Structure formats: structure tokens, C-alpha cells
Amino acid sequence: MEGWSEACRGSASEERMVEASKGRWILNSGNLACQIASWLPLVRLPAFRRCNQSCYRSVVALLASDAALREELEEALSTALAQVDKRVWVGIRLRPHDRHDGAENCLQVDRRQIVQTLGPASRVNFFFDEIFKEDTRQEDVWSRLQGPMMRTLLRREHCCLFAYGQTGSGKTHTVFGDPSTESSKGVAFRLLENLGKLLNGDTYPSISEEVQEKAVIEFSFLEVYNEKIHDLLSNSKLCTLAGEREELEPGSAYKAPILSAEERVVVRGLTRRRCDPGQLTQQVGSWLVEGAASRMVGKTVFNPRSSRSHAVATIHICWNDMPDQKKGNETRVYIVDLAGSERSGQYATNTEQLREGAHINLSLSTLGRVVTALSRGHGDHVPHRDSALTWLLTDAITGHQARAFMIASVNPLHSAETLSTLRYAQAYSSLQSDLSTKIPRLKAMLRTLQRQMEKARYELDSLCLDINTNSRSGRTTEWSRDTLRSRVVRIARRGQEHFQNHPFFKWTDAHEMKAVLGQAGILEETCARPPEREAEEPEDGRRRQFREPGSASSTCARVIFAGRHGYPPVQLWFPEEALEDVTPHPRLRELLTTFEKAEIAFQQKQAQLDATVKAFAAQQQQWMD
């Protein structure tokens, strides 16, 4: 709490002190603690509550008496904690090993830095959020994760916990462990205990009744084995993955429904069991044990009971206090125990294990390519659909829609596998910026806008060609995108009369020909007095010697007529009243407007993408420095 108040320091305003001095929040109980709490700045209340039981009751009473104050405090704490917590948190856990087996430990740990020695003169440095040494206990791992994970759930954000590493490095032990023993209990069971306390009000009594009334908890457990989804709560029943989009507007017999741009991945046929908030730890704990017993395991060179599949346990917290919101009314907690990476061709003991290893490496390599594509920030294609695992966890892998926590387990005695794991974990930890996931989304939107722009351009050009081909020769201009954006004119029926006694212009044979043909041109400019024609310039309607204009002199206009049959364009001058506008087909105007809107949207999105790429590159350089 003290850390929260430190993060929020400076947000208290002098107005709050003035209002407190007027007695707005001072309770009539006469309790000194209540009066002190009413005088404190907003962000000091959480720290004051921890002083003693009397302070705790006074703060609870103060917040209960003022709903506006309670909402303001929650907003301030949420803002501060969102700035403190990372989108992607990565920790390394070293597996204990026997130092008398003759193998040499290749790792050296110094606080959050880990150094791997590859040779006499080769050392590689890695930095992570936390490094758990060989003697780290299960409760020590959870104590480091407890704060950020529970704050994520308090904000009703999705949370995803990954266990990654080579075969036999202790991933499953870290996540599940032995639930029958308190010291060996894994992170998943400790998370359940804290989540149950949160939902039952044991941790935050002031919100217990509200949470119990509004939260519905469900649980699902599946495994990805050989790129197929199996329901671990229903005798390993085979399920299918499908992409669904929210329907924004219903369709009709003449119009297709309008769907949202974002796709939601669902597992069809997956069992979801309803939980009692008061029995959450016992129920979900027993289901975790039940599902874990159904997982595919096998004996490998490194581990007699190696996980041969990826297990994904999901806790669905459905909030019923947001009935009008179609999105955000469910908080998901993913617990992912990945199968161990291995060199299947080198260590497989049989054909079946070779095939299992190939599928495991396929999904893990796809996960690595997804992370690499996002961390590069170049807007590359993100291959989520190349693997069932990455498609299933699209919204959780990168921390874009779920804060991600990864514990990468390594065995210090296996240097090659350890180096691969550390490199992957380092790449994963680079996804701290929202820009890394924003760039591919902008790139996808840019491709969509480009298709819309090209479609509008094709329709416009096709209609222009059709009108130009079917119109009478010479009676109109050649319609195109350029001419539609310009003012198209032609000589009016009695336009020659405006040339009589004009001080600047005279009627020429070129004017006569354009009038007879009815040819249209583009009005390039208008002015009060045209420049005089030089002797070497061809006749274009301007006199060699201008007369003095009268009081009613008209505006002068320069018109460009397109050349026909290979001849160059012709420039002629006119009094503006001798011309009349040529109106294009209404459908042409409509298609031009559609194309221009699509072009502007494309250019704006392109500028946004360029700025995002530049900002991401600057962030990467700052982190490297």
C-alpha cells in the first residue's frame, strides 16, 4: 500500500484540504482516527489503513459514507498501478542439480542478471525481471508474482501465466507442484487460494458483498496434443477451434450482417464447470488434479514423466454488473504449462515420440516466430494461425489484451538448451511496449484500407472508361480522376459574342473549331488581366496589343484542351462569361468522393504506422542504451 501511495503522490489537490476543512468528510462519531483520515490526502488513505485496526475501520467507514470519494480513490489507484505493472513479466528459474555428477554449471547469477559461459572467452549476458536460484522455494516464486497478478485481477484485466523451458527443467513442478504438501504447492494452487480470498472478501472486506453478487466463476481445462484440442474435463474429448466476430448490425435478405474487425477465438464443445465462490480453491483444485491426470505424458531421455502436450487451464470470471457491455464483462485467467522443447530427432526413443516432439517443436517455434515478429516492430505478418496453441492464446501471448507472466525454467547442466531458452525469454521480455503489438494491427488495417482504396479506384476508372467510350466523339472531355477534380468547361452557345470589342481577346479559328466540336477543357486559372502574348507565342485568343479595359471588364480564364490523335494539348484564353461548366455523371461524383475518402484514410493510417514504427525504434534504442 505504501508503494501505491508513493506512486500516486502528487495527485492530491488543495481543494480536497479545503473541502475537508469545511467538514464534508468528517464523521459525527467523534473518533479521532476518523477525523485524521478525513484530513489526509486521497492517496494516503491506503497507507493509513494499515496502521492499526482503528485506522482500518475509520477508512472503511469514510469510504462507505462517500461514494464519490470511493470512486475517486479507486480511479487514482488503478491509474498508478497500471503505470507500475508491466505488460510482460519474465522470470528465470534454475533447476536444482547435483554438483557431483561431473557436469559443469554454465550459469552465473547476479541479482537480475544471468551470465552464461559458452567457452573460455565467450560470455552472454541476459537481464530479466526476476531470477530464481536453485534453492528458491515454491512460496518464494509466488510471493514475487502475487502482487502484480492480483492487481491485474482487481482491475478486471485478463491474466496469463506461462511456464516455458526445456524438457525436465521443472516447468510443471513450478506451475502445479504437489498440492497435498504446502511447501510443494505450485503457483496455480496458490493463485486459486488468493483469488478465492479476493472473491470471498477475506482480503478486501469492503467489496466482498458486491463481488459475491456480481461474479460468476467457471473453469475449463484443455490440452493441445499433436496440434489438436482435447477437453481434459470430459475424457479428452476432441474439440475444434473457430474464429468468431461480434455482429454489430444484423443482416437482412438484401444485406449481409456487419461484423466487427477483431476476431475472437473460441473452443467449440469445451466443458466449462460452474464454481462456487466459497469453494473455489477446493473445486478448481480438484479439477486441476483431475485434468492433470488425463494429460499425455511419456518417458524421455531427460524426464521419466515428461509432458507431451501443452496444458491450458482457464478461470472465467463473469461480471454481471455490466449487462450493457458486450465486451469486457469476462475476466480470464490463463494458466499455461507448455510442453518441454527438445531435440526430438536426437533424443526420441520411438516413432510416436518423434511425431510428438515434431508437433511440440512446431507450436513452440511458431510461438517464437510470433514473438519475433512482434518484437521487431516492422509490421510483419504475425503467424498466429500457424499453430493451434498460438491461435488459441492470441489475446494472451503478448500482453495486448492480457498481462502476461512467464517463468522460463532452465537446467544449468544443459548449455545448448539453456541458451535457447534464455534467448527466447529475452525476446519475449522485449514486448514491454504496446507499440510492439500495435504495429501489426496498424499494418492489417492499412492492408484493409488499401484494398478499399483500390476497389474504389477500379470502380471509378471503369465507369470513366465506359462513359468515355459510349459518349459521342468530341462532345465531352475524357473523364478521369484528374478531370473530375478540376473545373471542366466548354464554349457557351453564343460565346463568340463576348469576344466582340473585348480589350484583351479576339475570336480565332481555334476557338471556332472548339465551339463547333463542343469540346470541353479544364479551366486552369482565372485572372483580371492576362499577360500579353509575345511574338513567338502561337495564337491563343490574346491580342498582341491590349486596349484599355472598360469599367465593366470581365474575368479572364485560361483553358487547356486535350490534344486529339497524338496532337499536344491546346491552350486558349476566354472571357469567363463565354464559358459554361460541364457537369459529370452523378455516379462519377459519388465514386470520386468514395475514392478520396478511402485515399485520405489510407494516408492517415500510413502516417500513423510510420510514426509508431519510429517511436518503437526509439524505445528499443533507449532500452538497449
Residue stretches of the annotated binding site: 165-172
Residue 363 near residue 308 (C-beta atoms within 8 A): no
Residue 173: closest CA among 105, 95, 58, 245: 95
Measured in degrees and rounded to the nearest 5, phi and psi for residue 402 equal -150, 135
Residue that is written with C-alpha cell 501471448 in the block = 397
Distance of CA 284 to the CA centre of its chain: 31
Provide the annotated binding site for ATP.
165-172
- Three-state SS at 308: coil
Residue 519 near residue 490 (C-beta atoms within 8 A): yes
Distance CA 434, CA 117 (A): 33
Distance CA 46, CA 64 (A): 14
Query: CA separation (Å) from 51 to 56, 191, 205, 426, 596?
Result: 7, 27, 17, 41, 64
- Three-state SS at 108: strand
Distance CA 353, CA 296 (A): 11
Where are the extended beta strands (E) located within 536-624?
A: 556-561, 570-575, 579-581
Residue 487: closest CA among 576, 565, 609: 576
Distance CA 496, CA 162 (A): 84
Handedness of CA 77, 78, 79, 83 (dihedral sign): positive
Where are the extended beta strands (E) located within 54-96?
A: 88-94
Residue 146: closest CA among 192, 109, 178: 192
- The DSSP 8-state label assigned to residue 29 in this structure reads T
- Whole-number CA gyration radius for the chain: 36
* Region at 21 (left for phi over 0; alpha for psi -120 to 50; beta for the rest): alpha
Measured in degrees and rounded to the nearest 5, phi and psi for residue 198 equal -65, -50
Residue 406 near residue 339 (C-beta atoms within 8 A): no
Q: Any alpha helices (H) in 333-434, and if so which ranges? A: 344-347, 351-376, 388-392, 415-429
Q: How far apart are the first and last CA of the chain?
A: 32
Residue 85: closest CA among 11, 162, 154: 154
